Structure 1
C-alpha cells in the first residue's frame, strides 16, 4: 500500500507504537463548541516532542535539533469538551536528513484527526540540515509504524 493511500484509510491506533493520553481542555474550544482546528497542531506537537525530548530513547543528539518542516492534517470528526484523547505516533519514512511521522488523535475509540509530519535534523551551529546516519535510523526502530520497513543499511 502506498503512503498516500494509507493516509486516506481510517487509521488504527494499534499501528502506532508511541502513545500518550491527554485531556481536551475547555480553552481548546472555538465558538462552535468543538476543538479548534489550530489546536490539533498542538496535540501533534505534544506527541512528537514528548517522544523526541525523552533522552532515554536516544533520539536527541548534542549539537543537533529536530525542526518541523511540514505538517499535513486530516480532520476526520468533531472533538468536544469534556473528554480525553489518545495520541499515537509512528515513523513512516526516512529521508536523507529527515524523519517522517504518521500521527493520530483518537477519542472514545474513534480517530478524530491524523497527520503526517516531517522533521529535519539540523546542526545547531551551521543551521544546516544534517544527513541521518545508520545509527540515528536504527534508534528509531522501536517507533516504526506497523507495516513500515527500515531502509537497508549501506
Structure 2
C-alpha cells in the first residue's frame, strides 16, 4: 500500500527519478504576467510523454496506448518569464490497468507545482482498458518515486 501523500508536504526534486529541463515561454503567461494555471498541464504532459514515448524504455508496447484519466495539480508558487524549469516524474502506484505518477515543476530550486496523474493502458483498436503486463511493470521499476513503497501487481 502506498503511504498517503500530504498535500502540504514539499516535494524534493531528487525524489523524482525521471527529470528533464524546459523553458518558460512568453506565450505561457496570462494577463497577470505569470504562467497561466492551464499551462502546467502541458508541462506535466511534456514530462510524461517524453518518458513514455521513448521506445528505449519499453513502456508503450505495439498496439497499446496510454490515456490520461485524472490530473490533480497543486499550485505552490508563481512562475514568471523568462525562466528555466526542471520537470520531475516518479511512479507512485500501479493499478490493474493504470499507472499513477507523481510529478513536479521546479524553478530556481523551488517547487512551483506538483501533480498526480493517472494514466490507463488501452488497446489502440478497441479503445478498452487492458491489464498491465509483467514486462511493462518491470520496465517502470527505474522510474518509481524515491521514498515510496509502491506495491507491485500480482500476475
Contact 1:141–1:150 at 8 Å: present in 2 too?
no
SS in 2 for 1:146: coil
Structure 1 moving runs of 4+ over 4 Å: none
Partner of residue 4, structure 1: 5
Q: RMSD in angstroms over aligned alpha carbons? A: 1.3
Gaps of 5+ in 1: none
Partner of residue 86, structure 2: 86
Residue 17 (structure 1) shift? 0.2
Residue 133 (structure 1) shift? 1.6
TM value normalised by structure 1: 0.95
SS in 2 for 1:136: helix
Map 1:91-102 to 2 at 5 A: 91-102=91-102
SS in 1 for 2:43: helix
Residue 58 (structure 1) shift? 0.6
TM value normalised by structure 2: 0.95
Residue 134 (structure 1) shift? 1.6
Partner of residue 152, structure 2: 151
Gaps of 5+ in 2: none
Contact 2:95–2:153 at 8 Å: present in 1 too?
no
SS in 2 for 1:20: strand
Residue 3 (structure 1) shift? 2.4
Partner of residue 31, structure 2: 31
Count residues with an aligned counterpart: 153
